[in-house]
Structure 1
Amino acid sequence: MKVFTEKEVMMTYHMSDAIQDIENLFQNMDDVSQTSRVVIPTGEGAKSMLYMPCIHFGKQQGIIKITSITPENPQHNRPTTQANIVITDLKTGEHVASMDGSYLTRLRTGALSGIATKYMSRPDSKTLGMIGTGGMAYEQLLGNLEVRPIEKVLLYNRTSEKAHAFKARIADKHPSIEFEVVSTVTELVRQSDIINCQTQSTSPVFNANDIQSGTHINGIGSYRPEMKEMDNRLFPTASQIVFDDLEGVKEEAGEFIEADKQGLFSFDHHDDDLKGVSLNGKIQRNNEDITIFKCVGAAHFDLAVALGTWEKFNKNHN
């Protein structure tokens, strides 16, 4: 078995690769088989272990991603989420590779937002608002930059020092973009063409009444029923709501679970998913429409980026 560190993965596999590989997988989903993720709580709050298996029969390869979530880790200068992905050759049963999955998880999640932004936001969107500047934020930024001509990025974090630290870390990497830390979410929301939410909040991080016509929103932070980062009063006014994985959203996305119970939204009358949007190549929207993408993650997205990384490793070393 070959073992690849996060640094090696980061040097080999990038956002453009992830977006391409996920969209390619959408065209071959009949070859993919997966089961529901297994989540085992290991302590208070979000502390847990996650196990996500998936198989690609066409490529005769399978993966399992093992993820640990340890919310108190940042206090000890360790990441909250850590992951590892094992790749298996189905022909021989050999476990051929193990790679750090933390970066790949961030990358595939950013790629999903990027794909949603590519098809659902206004093509001339230039201002990106980012609510939450934690561990998932940078790849969310990269996903949007890959598909839209972003000129300005507004940053908000509940702890403003973290937003300033994020800006200091990334501004030099993107000298053509203006980065600004704002003091209120309202200021961010009213100026943004695209809004990205990546928080673990249990209450809405923005007010639905502040959302401007024509805005596209990516919600990627709430992945447990008690988490609700988007204001679900916005849902009835959205022209299009798209999920990465409908069954996952039904079980995990708190704002949509609550909205379904309150009659603001109905799972029974909803089947729009990112695969359909990608295969269609566009959605029907005008410049005033509000669009929403909700992501909770699924194993086949990890399959796409893990096998893509493995293929690049093999190509580069042959």
Structure 2
Amino acid sequence: MLDADDVRRAVPMTAAVEAVREAFRELAAGRFEVPQRLSFAGSTTLVMTACHTPSSTTVVKTLNLAPGRTPMILGTLVWNTAAGQVVADAVEVTALRTGAVSGVATDLLAPPSASRLALLGTGAQAADQVRAVAAVRPLRHVSVFGRSSVRAQGLADRLSAEFPEVTVRLARHASAAVADVDVVCCATSSDTPLFGVDDLPERVHVNAIGSYLPSMRELPPELLATAGCVVVDQVGAVLEEAGEVIHAVDAGLLDPGKLIELGTALRRPPVVGGRTVFKSVGLAVQDWAIARLLGEATGMRP
């Protein structure tokens, strides 16, 4: 059983970004079987699985979510190979792979010189969003906004210690945080949009990884309607689970046919400009990518 510290020692963020990038290319090439995520007990228990058909390796992850509990999320990940199994702390893997996919999307869609980041959210996923952007862009400034100023300050202090070359400041409002940045990372469970489309610069890339239920919405529908490019992890998944996408489609503001899957975009990079969006609800291929690295670190290869 690999605990959180074991996972972090085995998989640095730079390796996680590259592994997740390759997994999405493999997904687009049809080399994964990925069943729809199972959800039980009012979406408080989630089960995700994927099979990489060329290697016949599978990953199975279970998560239990209990708002108000500390920690809020508990879970286990199992990577299965012909040689045996690797079992790991699923919470750490989830944070790592969720950050990594934002890194992949940022590397694809943000300007090469992007150095200013707005981080909206202070929960378990937040710090890895910063780590992932820092892995692919010359990050110099981070604005942090959260509902709790105490938690926001604590996160800002941790980020300042980890990235001494980066200036980290608190923003009093989400709209202020996003006003003058190159990249925005949304990592909240909000049920209303965090900012208005007019709060954003004309050229900005936005990652949204927090919402995973139809009732949740981090992004304004006008952003999805006017963005030059909207990339998603998987079209079917976001149309079932991503509240902001569902709302924009139902309102007639977004044509689902214009959604581009990340794996496709990696194989055929889109021409980007203006505002770009990446919306993720999380796929088991990301867990598989991290689990493969954990397997290699423990000497267990397919």
Residue from 8, 11, 22 that aligns with 2:9 = 11
AA aligned opposite 2:41: P
1:203 paired residue number? 192
What is aligned with 1:277?
265
CA contact under 8 A between 1:232 and 1:264: conserved in structure 2? yes
What is the number of equivalent residue pairs in this alignment?
Answer: 299
| Distance in 2 of aligned mates of 1:209 and 1:194 | 15
Q: 1:27–1:208: structure 2 CA closer, same or farther, 3 Å change rule? A: closer
**One-letter code aligned to 1:272:** I
> How far is the alpha carbon of 1:34 from its aligned partner?
2.0
- The DSSP-based 3-state class of the residue aligned with 2:299 is helix
Give me the TM-score of the superposition, normalised by structure 1: 0.90
The answer on whether the counterparts of 2:19 and 2:290 sit within 8 Å (CA) in structure 1 is: yes
**Partner residue of 1:151?**
140
Which residue number in structure 1 is paired with residue 35 of structure 2? 35
Deviation string, structure 1 residues 189-238 (Cα, Å, up to 9, x no partner): 11111111111000011011111100110011111000011111122221
Residue 63 of structure 2 corresponds to residue 67 of structure 1: yes
Q: Does 1:123 align with 2:108?
A: no
State the partner residue of 1:229.
218
Report the alpha carbon displacement of residue 310 of structure 1 after superposing the two structures with TM: 0.9
Query: Hey, which bits of structure 1, 4+ residues long, moved more than 3 A?
Result: none
Corresponding residue for 2:125? 136
The structural deviation recorded for 1:83 is 2.1
Where does the alignment leave 5 or more consecutive residues of structure 2 unmatched? none
- Counterpart of 1:22 in structure 2 is 20
Match of 1:248 in 2: 237
Aligned-pair CA distance for 1:158: 1.4
Aligned partners of 1:207 and 1:237: how far apart in 2?
12
Q: Which region of structure 1 is more displaced relative to structure 2, 271-280 or 151-160?
A: 271-280
Q: What CA distance in whole angstroms lies between the structure 2 residues aligned with 1:192 and 1:28?
A: 32
AA in 2 matched with 1:312: A
Deviations 1:25-82 (A, max 9, x none): 234333321211110025xxx5x11111211222221111011111111xxxx21122
Q: Is contact 1:26-1:279 (8 Å) kept?
A: no
Instruction: Give the RMSD, CA atoms, in angstroms.
Output: 1.6
Q: Deviations over 1:74-101 (max 9, x none)?
A: xxxx211222111222x47x5x221111
Structure with the greater alpha carbon radius of gyration: 1
SS in 2 for 1:83: strand
Partner SS, residue 217 of structure 2? coil
Q: Which amino acid aligns with 1:283?
A: P
For residues 253-306 of structure 1, give each alpha carbon's deviation from its aligned partner in whole angstroms, at most 9, with x where no partner exists: 111101111111021x234111122223x43123xx100000100111111111
1:104–1:302 Cα contact (<8 Å) kept: yes
Q: Tell me whether 78-87 or 234-243 shows the greater mean CA deviation.
A: 78-87
Unaligned 5+ residue runs, structure 1? Answer: none
The amino acid of 1:114's aligned partner reads G
